[in-house]
Amino acid sequence: MANEFQTNLVRNFCIIAHIDHGKSTLADRILEYTGALSDREMSDQVLDQMDLERERGITIKLQVVRLNYTALDGNTYILNLIDTPGHVDFNYEVSRSLAACEGALLVIDAAQGIEAQTLANVYLALEHDLEIIPVINKIDLPSADPEGVKKQIEDVIGLDASDAILASAKTGQGTQEILEAIVKKVKPPSGLVDAPLSALIFDSKFDSYKGAIPYVRVMDGQLKPGMKVRMMNTGKTAEVTDVGVFTPAPKTVDKLSAGEVGYLAASIKNVADTRVGDTVTDAANPTPYPLPGYRKATSMVFCGLYPVENNAYGDLKDALEKLQLNDASLIFEPETSVALGFGFRCGFLGLLHMEIIKERLEREYNLDLLITAPSVSYRASKTNGEVVTVDNPVNLPEANTLAFVEEPYVKATIMVPSEFIGSIMELTQERRGVFINMEYITPTRVMMLYDLPLSEIIYDFFDQLKSRTKGYASLDYELAGYQKAELVKLDILVNDAIVDALSCIVHKDKAYHRGKALVTKLRSLIPRQLFEVPIQATIGSRVIARESVKALRKNVIEKCYGGDISRKRKLLEKQKEGKKRMKQVGSVEIPQEAFMAVLEID
């Protein structure tokens, strides 16, 4: 059976790394080395396909590619590389990739050493029982210290670093050793080809012609066109029309067998029918055991998304549904705002995730969107014993019915050169952080652990952390329960009416400062109207800050332009366009940026 698929020649692996440690470049080298792409097709960071990813130099979406590698032992192996995002917001995507693999390359920058996310990623990989291959990257840098990094790997992570591969994704050094290590150390998949089909959906994508396309890792059995399959969780059945692998371009194959990674198309129209984490099985001969899936994505940040033009609500809904198929961590449900009309309350993994979703909706779906101030999910206990989850400040119960409010906390790991310990203490104190522990990981670097309110780190904490440590600090965090806090709802009144979309929940001690900063910012963002517009910040019925936007006095084209009327008309059309992009709230026109003002203060 020469052509029969041999599981022992398959390796499924991913690359995990702290952001900027060279993961995508290393993936490029591996693709190049194995000839997956011709030179002509090779562009930098091949796996970062989205414009946004290239522009920002980060990986947002996980990507899959199948490689053929002829090893020194003479066998040709199939290597499935699952690229993963590096930003802390996207840990969830990392955990999904891990579930589809048997091994992981742990890439560490030879000059930077272990960072907060390196650790978080290692723990995730160990949880999934993966073989970890340490790769010390960027050894071509003058400041590279491979021996020091090896020691860190052993001391801090507890992995044997004697076999750590020294590599430079820039020069290509070490690429072959990495591929050999994958073949030798990573276990082949253990699935049974003869068992009933069970395949894990680890990602999916929407194609306008083929419908929903789940990306799967086949654990047992085989997946072939013509089969009738069932999604065990949703119960949806469909007939498989096409299966394929990623070269990285999608390529149809006869079948996908146990141990393989690929995609399936089955004319699945409804995006909700193929949930990431679900198990695909043979409808005629189902497996009795659904795969464990993985922990659900936890939304950290919530905000309202509204179309600028009310009639685009349907388009926004469609776009969100399609994006959700690509990004299972995005959640949304309809909500209405007095100020903004119909929209959606959306949950995100973090602020970066939120920005990216907004940008993708605007770019890929050509929508004009308003986004309200981000909020975390609070837990409000009422005096009658009822507990409500509040992810929109508007829903915080009235003060007189409220017993107490709890807010989500995170356990934050910060790694930083020891000279910045003071700066970190200062910053975390400003953010209501509680110090837990500090450990020297090398004589000059420390790992600091803090309990911090999530609401204090979602805005600009990371930027502050970077700027106060000359860029040296790294951060990772995970949710760590709820704690009681003295929180109040801060309302903003524009022209004497509450604009619900501008309300936020803040700590009592910070309310005054926040209110003042917010109204000042709003005054500068809201253009003059035909009448004076008062802007107030209130807590309950108490006004804590007040500003006003003076009435518009002058908006006229005086010049004649020698009869060039077209120029006048164009100026007017431009002004009209500008007005269209504003949201009419009561009788006041508020620009989109105003709703994000809360992000730009402090």
Q: Which residues bind other proteins (CB under 8 A)?
A: 528, 530, 550, 552-566, 568-569, 571-573, 575-576, 579
Helices assigned H by DSSP within 300-420: 313-326, 351-364
Which CB, 404 or 561, lies closer to other proteins? Answer: 561
Minimum distance of other proteins from residue 587's CB (angstroms): 10
Q: Which of 105, 92, 89 is nearest to 12 (CA)?
A: 105
Minimum distance of other proteins from residue 556's CB (angstroms): 4
Minimum distance of other proteins from residue 584's CB (angstroms): 12
Which CB, 269 or 559, lies closer to other proteins? Answer: 559
Which CB, 542 or 559, lies closer to other proteins? Answer: 559
Minimum distance of other proteins from residue 550's CB (angstroms): 7
Which CB, 2 or 565, lies closer to other proteins? Answer: 565
Cα angle for residues 219, 221, 227 (degrees, 5° grid): 120
Cα angle for residues 203, 199, 96 (degrees, 5° grid): 35
Minimum distance of other proteins from residue 590's CB (angstroms): 17
Which CB, 42 or 571, lies closer to other proteins? Answer: 571
Which CB, 401 or 587, lies closer to other proteins? Answer: 587
Which CB, 436 or 557, lies closer to other proteins? Answer: 557
Query: What is the torsion angle, in degrees rounded to the nearest 10, for the CA atoms of residue 51, residue 56, residue 60 and residue 62?
Result: 70
Minimum distance of other proteins from residue 558's CB (angstroms): 4
Helices assigned H by DSSP within 71-115: 91-99
Q: How far apart are the first and last CA of the chain?
A: 68
For residues 331 and 299, is the Cβ–Cβ distance under 8 A? yes
Q: Which of 150, 146, 154, 182 is nearest to 71 (CA)?
A: 182
Sole residue written with tokens 């309350």: 345
For residues 108 and 153, is the Cβ–Cβ distance under 8 A? yes
Q: How far apart are alpha carbons 75 and 451 in whole angstroms?
A: 51
Minimum distance of other proteins from residue 433's CB (angstroms): 39
Minimum distance of other proteins from residue 555's CB (angstroms): 4
Which CB, 387 or 572, lies closer to other proteins? Answer: 572
Q: How far apart are alpha carbons 452 and 50 in whole angstroms?
A: 33
Minimum distance of other proteins from residue 341's CB (angstroms): 20
Minimum distance of other proteins from residue 566's CB (angstroms): 5
Minimum distance of other proteins from residue 595's CB (angstroms): 23
| Phi, psi for residue 469 in degrees, rounded to 5 | -125, 25
Q: How far apart are alpha carbons 549 and 377 in whole angstroms?
A: 33
Token digits for 347? 């949950």
409: enclosing H helix or E strand: strand 402-417
Paired sense of beta strands 228-231 and 222-223, if any:
unpaired
Which CB, 338 or 551, lies closer to other proteins? Answer: 551
**Count of beta carbons in the 10 Å neighbourhood of residue 508:** 11
584: enclosing H helix or E strand: strand 582-585
Q: How far apart are alpha carbons 176 and 475 in whole angstroms?
A: 32
Which CB, 42 or 572, lies closer to other proteins? Answer: 572
For residues 503 and 598, is the Cβ–Cβ distance under 8 A? no
Paired sense of beta strands 10-17 and 76-83, if any:
parallel
Which CB, 508 or 580, lies closer to other proteins? Answer: 580
**Local structure of 366: helix, strand or coil:** coil
Minimum distance of other proteins from residue 572's CB (angstroms): 5
Handedness of CA 50, 263, 291, 78 (dihedral sign): negative
For residues 52 and 45, is the Cβ–Cβ distance under 8 A? no
DSSP string, 2-32: TTS--GGGEEEEEEEE-TTSSHHHHHHHHHH
Q: Which of 137, 243, 240, 133 is nearest to 183 (CA)?
A: 133
Which CB, 484 or 550, lies closer to other proteins? Answer: 550
Which CB, 539 or 582, lies closer to other proteins? Answer: 582
Minimum distance of other proteins from residue 342's CB (angstroms): 24
